[in-house]
Structure 1
Amino acid sequence: MSGSARRGLRIAVVASNRHPIAQPFAGGLESHVWQLTRALHDDGHRVTLFAAEGSDAALSAESIPVQTIRVSEAAAGDVSMPPEAFLADHHAYLELMMELVADDGRRFDVIHNHSLHYLPIAMAPSLTVPMLTTLHTPPTPWLESAVAVTGGAGSQFVAVSRYTADSWCHVLPSVDVVSNGIDLTAWPPGPGGSDLIWSGRIVPEKGTHLAIEAARMAGRRLHVVGPIGDAHYFRAAVGPRLGSQVRYHGHLSSRSLAALLGSCAAALVTPVWDEPYGLVVAEALACGTPVLAFARGGIPEIIDSSCGRLVAPGDTEAMADAVGEATCLPREQVRRRAVRVCGHRRTTDAYVRRYLALARSARVRGAKPA
């Protein structure tokens, strides 16, 4: 065992400058980083986290503060002044990367980049500490530009699903997969019931309105859970349909959501875009709740016939027709599928193996990553 493995690795985890890593989570990325940071700390590694203020102090991670900028009146009045949110993101990640470049291996053995910002990838060739980047989404213009300019130099890449890895193959031809994992003990199996549930951010691309439609056709009550990410969409497509058959519970903590998931007959997953992974699928399966989902993105990599049913994207009638079949699946069988493919232990171990390989390789090359 290497010295780094014996003493624990020093890991800088780069997340979002806008969202704290704390419950209730802003999204699946924040949930994943929270789980990984906690697991790494529990395994004896020293984690330093870059994320928005208000991240969970119980993670026992050090922090790299998000730096803000107040531009002068002259700069703010210039015709090239970008939107404030864009400038805030740019400044936060520029400050962070300059700090990591200057570190020169004194504080960290490895950097794990989970951000969706282009600067960590664009500046990776300047680092003297190896970096691993997790691709949480299909290509976006800014991320693809950074990869195209650098050729991926300075960072290794993994993706959260085979679908996501394949979507990057035109600029990153060989990307391994480390699928996300959840703490199965935090999502215990429940007794089930007769109602259906939908959970996630309430935005058009998640298709909350389609779950409402499918539940109505199936003649089942639907529970809706999650933060309102698009107020206009909620007012137009979700709010008017609330009532005795469609209940909105707000943005719940993981514990409350797990209890509700475990009390339902099935979970509906209705994206109108290609989900990179499908964290809500893993959470439902862990609770023993079968999943009915549109076959999009990385979701088919999680669901098989033992734990749910896949239907064609957008086909709410087929989803409603499959409710009876899915709800007959044994809940212990559904839970077993989650244990096999969704546990965080497998995810954390896979990442640590990559950290160690990167750290060893950097030492051999004089601490200069490829």
Structure 2
Amino acid sequence: MRIAQVSPLYEAVPPKLYGGTERVVAYLTDALVDLGHDVTLFASADAETSAKLAAVRDQAIRLDPAPLKSDLAAHMSMLDEVRRRADEFDIIHFHTDILHFPFFEALAGKTLTTLHGRLDLKDLPPVYARWGQYPLVSISDDQRRPLPHASWMGTVHHGVPGQGYDLHPDSDGYLAFLGRISPEKRPDRAIAIATQLGRRLKMAAKIDAADAAYYRDEIEPLIRGNPLVEFVGEISDQQKSAFLGGADALLFPIDWPEPFGLVMIESMACGTPVIAFKCGSVPEIVEDGVTGFVVDSLQAALDAVRRLPTLNRREIRRRFELRFSSMAMARRYTALYEELAASPRLEAPRALVM
């Protein structure tokens, strides 16, 4: 099939450092090429891909040193280019949230839109009612809960390429936290777990400008002078395998409706179990007692750390390959593409519901 993948422009594809959506787009695109599809990736020029690259910006927005830039203008230019070339593709797969909805109404039946973010936002229901002709994909079943009547075509869990993550049969004796420093990610819980157990904790985390005050006021005091906690900072893809593989477990102590949580399957790819709080997608991703433990309290998390020796790291890797490889993800998307191609959904736009 001739497939267009339309990525956000905030990060490179894949990201140079932290980044979720663009990383998934990169893995999906390359896996689709490996399956024999003719794939064109619309992204910034610093993308690394085995597909045909349609470069629509000189570099990704976040690491662009230009002091003044417009993310809206960049995405509008990209969407115009996609629409200009739309006849070249059987399927146009958008990863740009809802931005394209007003501009592709006449082509909605040949589009697929994967929603990567949280959907419990005040202004979203009228949008999905107004543009109900767009087939949607969720990245977890839990993600759908705020919008149960949207035009869901399927759920496709994320996948990552197994060859990028080495199985580590033995750990190096520390707990890991990988992600963003933000209130909803609850790095304070990770520190509390490690401190109460007297275990080492390595934190590889990005600090967004919006969360700088939270880090300074809430998290840094918990790290400063704590001999058990090592703050590594933001790491690259190339560093993840060693970082995650060396851990006894990944701590995923979230406190928000996480749509997916890519780091969980990256950890499983290394054979490293995940201890995650029961929020959002977690029960769909972590197989309790097999690939980790799903907990609902700090005490349960402490108990889970003590139970880590009962888990088999090779089995965790095997479960990852079965459920969360990039090829498994690409095959699931291919099935949806074929369904769309066989039965185009070209309904007229629905009336706005308030």
Distance in 1 (alpha carbons) for counterparts of 2:86 and 2:179: 40
Give the C-alpha shift of residue 245 in structure 1.
1.1
- Which residue does 2:77 correspond to in 1? 95
User: SS in structure 1 opposite 2:3?
Assistant: strand
> Partners of 2:148 and 2:262 in 1: how far apart?
23
Q: Distance between the aligned counterparts of 1:95 and 1:145, measured in 2?
A: 25
| Partners of 1:52 and 1:293 in 2: CA distance | 34
Distance 1:141 1:101, change over 3 A: farther
1:183 matched residue in structure 2: 161
Q: How does 1:227-266 map to 2 (within 5 A)?
A: 227-229=206-208, 230-240=211-221, 241-242=223-224, 243-266=226-249
- Corresponding residue SS for 1:176: strand
- State the SS of the aligned residue for 2:93: strand
In structure 1, C-alpha distance between the alignment counterparts of 2:155 and 2:342, rounded to whole Å: 21
Instruction: Give percent identity, aligned residues only.
Output: 32
Which residue of the partner structure matches residue 135 of structure 2?
A: 156
Output the CA distance in 2 between the equivalents of 1:274 and 1:104.
35
Would the aligned equivalents of 2:40 and 2:51 in 1 still touch at CA under 8 Å? no
- Measured in 1, the distance between the counterparts of 2:16 and 2:340 equals 33
* 1:111 has 2:89 as partner: no
Supply the distance in 2 between the matched residues of 1:38 and 1:195 (Cα, whole angstroms): 33
Give the aligned residue type for 1:181: G
TM-score normalised to the size of structure 2?
A: 0.85
Map residues 188-199 of structure 1 onto 2, 5 A cutoff: 188-190=166-168, 191-199=170-178
Q: What displacement does 1:61 show?
A: 3.1
* TM-score with structure 1 setting the length: 0.82
Residue type of the alignment partner of 1:331: R
Unaligned runs of 5+ in 1: 1-8, 69-83
1:53 to partner: Cα distance: 4.5
For the 8 Å contact 1:288–1:332, the answer to whether it is kept is yes
CA shift at 1:282, angstroms? Answer: 0.8
- Cα RMSD after superposing both structures: 2.5
The structure with the largest strand share of the pair is 2
CA apart distance, 1:255 = 2.9
Distance change (3 Å), C-alpha of 1:175 and 1:10:
closer
Summarize the alignment of residues 69-80 of structure 1 with structure 2, pairs less than 5 Å apart: none
Distance across 2 between alignment mates of 1:160 and 1:137: 9
Q: Which moved more, 1:298-307 or 1:91-100?
A: 91-100
Q: Which has the higher contact order (CA 8 A, sep 6+)?
A: 2
Residue 165 of structure 1 is matched in structure 2 by 144
Aligned partner of 1:19 in structure 2 is 11
1:25 deviates by: 4.2
Contact 2:113 2:137 in 1 (8 A): yes
Give 2:38's aligned residue.
46
Q: Distance in 2 between matches of 1:244 and 1:277?
A: 32
Instruction: State the Cα distance separating 1:179 from its structure 2 match.
Output: 0.8
State the Cα distance separating 1:329 from its structure 2 match. 1.4
Once the two structures are TM-superposed, the CA of residue 17 in structure 1 deviates from its matched residue by: 2.3
Partner of 2:290: 306
Structure 1 counterpart SS, 2:172? coil
- Seen in structure 2, the aligned counterparts of structure 1 residues 255 and 46 have a Cα distance that, compared at 3 Å, is same
Residues of 1 paired with 2:187 and 2:220: CA distance?
11
Q: Which amino acid aligns with 1:307?
A: T
Deviations 1:68-119 (A, max 9, x none): 9xxxxxxxxxxxxxxx87xx343333333334334351x2221111113x32
Instruction: Give the match's secondary structure for 2:272.
Output: coil
AA at the equivalent of 1:119: L
Instruction: Look up the match of 2:63.
Output: none
Note the C-alpha offset of 1:10.
2.3
Q: Distance in 2 between matches of 1:263 and 1:103?
A: 46
1:133 paired with 2:133, answer no
Assess if the C-alpha contact under 8 Å between 2:8 and 2:96 holds in 1.
yes
Do the aligned partners of residues 277 and 38 (structure 1) sit closer, same or farther apart at CA in structure 2, a change above 3 Å counting?
same
Aligned residues: 333
Structure 1 residue 257, shift from structure 2 partner? 1.3
Match of 1:271 among 254, 262, 270: 254
Match of 1:31 among 18, 23, 29: 23
Unaligned runs of 5+ in 2: 60-67, 349-354
- Residue 354 (structure 1) aligned with residue 332 (structure 2): no
Determine which of 199, 208, 215 is the counterpart of 2:187.
208
Structure 1 residues 95 and 310, CA, compared in 2 at 3 Å: closer, same or farther? Answer: same
